[in-house]
Amino acid sequence: MFLGLAFSAYVNGICFLLIALLPNILVPLGVSPDFELVKYNALIWPTCAMGIFITLLLDQLYRRIFIYRRKVETLARVDDLTEVANRRHFMEISDRLLETCRRQGTPVSMIMFDIDHFKPINDTYGHPTGDTVLRHVADILKKSLRKSDFPARYGGEEFAVILPQTPPEHSFLVAEKIRRKVMATPLTTPEGVMIQIRISAGVTGVRAATGE
């Protein structure tokens, strides 16, 4: 049964049934006529029923453990509010990306975004609205970046983005594009209040060719 965990519960159930049915098909056809089919059926069917039941339980147990493990791994990497990477995962990936770009001789840049006057937004409209603002900015980031770029919530109202194979002068353009997009996309609260969001951006990077 433990060996059967490598297969689905459906496949295991079919195997159990085939084991139980095979002698009942072969003996009437004349194969091994001395085979004690009555005793075999008396033993095999309860055993198969128990085997299928235990296999289903083990399958559900291991499936739940697998789902729980994936959920824990996701929570360890992803900020649950904005659904971008959290700071810990960002630090791990940024070190890896920086080393990869240095080895390959390609530039790499990083942009830091900070939501302006975020505390007054929380104080005026409440923390749920502040959370909505964070999600709003994170969504704009994700939609404005390439698949190879790596956005993260760095902490509080700060976001960071790693841009592989991007020189610093180009990352300025990316930062400005995102800043303008955030300004052009105000947030409307469920109460109908429009909040104009502004962000500041800082850029740093490495030109692989010059080592700057």
CA angle 137, 197, 77 (to 5 degrees): 20
Helix H or strand E encompassing 43: helix 37-77
Q: Which of 73, 83, 157, 176 is catalytic?
A: 157
Phi, psi dihedrals of residue 112, rounded to the nearest 5°: -110, 125
CA separation for the pair 119, 123 (Å, rounded):
6
Q: Distance from first CA to last CA of the chain, Å, rounded?
A: 60
To the query of whether residue 176 is one of the catalytic residues in this protein, the response is no
How far apart CA 182 and CA 46 sit, in angstroms, is 66
Q: Please report, for residues 41, 107, 108, 171, the alpha-carbon distance to residue 34 in angstroms, rounded to integers and kept in the order given.
A: 14, 79, 78, 83
Cα–Cα dist 192/184, whole Å: 17
Active site residues per annotation: 157
